[in-house]
Structure 1
């Protein structure tokens, strides 16, 4: 038996890093996909110290071909993907009268479209019991007008999670987003480690009571 594997898309030092460490402590091997080589190497080193075997790839996740190839390489190498976690979003401080259509579509490509790419690439390696988790945000329900594209992304990615779960459920694979109703901070209930713990728990819901969205209010 091989160790279980989590693929973290949009890996970095925040929630995604905390979640990767949480899974590593539980005996998972980890594959990291992100855009910052230095951050990926640093996180990989931390995970290896926790006993995980770690692979990483640098890719712009809006590049469909590069992202698909990277996730397929991870899957072919390990023979399995047990959890796919999706973290990316774009913060662009522009209100709806400043934001261009091109900018909106570029941000949605990152915050929503890249989940579609990642899920499709991972699907051949996900089996019954597999999970897709997503870092969501209160911006889906209460967008800040000065960052108009972020609310669109978070509403869109949550909607896509509902559709992914309905599509994959017959094969025993489930999807869930955690809606973080607060601002990430270094202390208090919204630290990356606390949010990662909620994501961990969301992936381990009882199947009969599965929710595709889990709100976290601290």
Structure 2
């Protein structure tokens, strides 16, 4: 899949940046899509990536993103999610709708467009579609119903797509990021050297491992958690 286009939807600092760097190092033509692309200038310059400003939950915007890609699509990664906390009796229905649109509906839109392009690729392995999940897609936490609904839906989407598309040569997987991700630009996310938080580069390397998996042993789910995380 090296030399093909790699799309990261919901690009930003941390994991997305680590993914962009590793994909660029492998020779992919990287495309970074995000609602706010002003913050991506340095990363785009470093990786030679093209940036696209878009709302991931907008069908027309998602279609435009993929229709305008240059070269065959080899990798598509969906990172966006929306967290909305509060007692179930107090949650605003419209804000809940929006959270689910970002986390789940946008994932469907990307998966659909990516699959359409990858099915046109030649060869036995036509591409890889990855969805960044969370432990909320396995267990719903108190006062976090919207996030749980979105991540459960996203996980179900990935399972369905994997069963449909694996026999057609497209590898689909959902990654459960079970723990906090370290981020040097956020004080509360800075790791003290104890590796109690997930390192973005280590997560990105696991994604590369999924991309490189032989089709005789494809994973459709992967759980990543720091060594001190309880589960």
Deviation at residue 42 of structure 1 after TM alignment: 2.4
Correspondence 1:94 to 2:86: yes
Match of 1:204 among 212, 218, 224: 212
- Which structure 2 residue ranges, 5 or more long, are not aligned? 183-189, 227-231
The answer on whether the counterparts of 1:84 and 1:133 sit within 8 Å (CA) in structure 2 is yes
Q: Deviations over 1:161-197 (max 9, x none)?
A: 0111112122200100111111112432502212112
Q: Paired residue for 2:129?
A: 132
| 1:72 aligned residue (61, 64, 67) | 67
- In structure 1, the gaps of 5 or more residues are 49-53
TM-score (ref. length: structure 1): 0.89
Inter-partner Cα distance in structure 1 for 2:82 and 2:107: 13
Q: Report the number of matched residues.
A: 210
- When normalised by structure 2's length, the TM-score is 0.84
How far apart, in 2, do the equivalents of 1:94 and 1:69 lie? Answer: 35
Cα separation, 2, equivalents of 1:98 and 1:45: 44
Q: Does 1:24 align with 2:24?
A: yes
Q: Which structure shows the higher helix fraction?
A: 1
Deviation at 1:144, TM superposition (A): 2.9
Q: 2:229 maps to what in 1?
A: none
Tell me the CA shift for residue 67 of structure 1: 1.7
Give the corresponding residue for 1:47. Answer: 47
Which residue of 2 is the match for residue 7 of structure 1?
7
> Secondary structure of 2:131's match?
strand
**1:182 paired to 2:170:** no
CA RMSD of aligned residues (A): 1.9
Question: How far apart are the structure 2 equivalents of 1:144 and 1:39?
Answer: 32
Structure 2 Cα separation of the partners of residues 46 and 58 of structure 1: 18
Q: CA deviation at 1:70?
A: 1.7
